[in-house]
Amino acid sequence: MKILVCEDDFMMIKAIEHKLKSEGYLVDVVTDGNQAIEKIRQGDYALVMTDLLMPFVGGLELINTIRNELLLKMPIIVLSRLGNEDTIIEAFKLGADDYITKPFSPNEVSIRVKRLLIKR
């Protein structure tokens, strides 16, 4: 299964990528929202993980594009340092399936990915 990780923090990318690849997932990484939209249009992803604060197109806008413009149903996990209630609620209203506040453990990410993919 292919997972798209949209993240601009190099250390986060490496931790997530290493964990998911070690569990057998195919992982594509992009560092800004424009790249994410392009990849999603081209690829068949089982799940998307996105940071909220990215260059060009932010995570909330990306979620909105996936759900309302591209009309795709794959699970979306938000990864963010923004842990305030309004941001979390907005992400869920737009169609996010899960929200993980940074910092987090790669094991937590792995469990949440598995949980969402089993539901799919």
| CATH number of the domain where residue 90 is located | 3.40.50.2300
Q: What is the mean pLDDT of residues 33-57?
A: 91
DSSP code string of 72-118: ----EEEEES---HHHHHHHHHHT-SEEEESS--HHHHHHHHHHHHH
Rounded CA-CA distance 33/58 in Å is 6
Question: Structurally, how many domains does the chain consist of?
Answer: 1
pLDDT tens digits along 80-108: 887 678 888 999 999 999 999 888 888 99
Rounded CA-CA distance 6/88 in Å is 17
Q: Which domain holds residue 13?
A: 2-119
CA atoms within 13 A on the CB side of 106: 13
The number of beta carbons lying within 10 Å of the beta carbon of residue 96 is: 22
Q: pTM of whole model > 0.85?
A: yes
**pLDDT of the residue at 28:** 95
Higher per-residue pLDDT: 15 or 120: 15
Rounded CA-CA distance 107/66 in Å is 26
Q: What is the mean pLDDT of residues 60-89?
A: 90
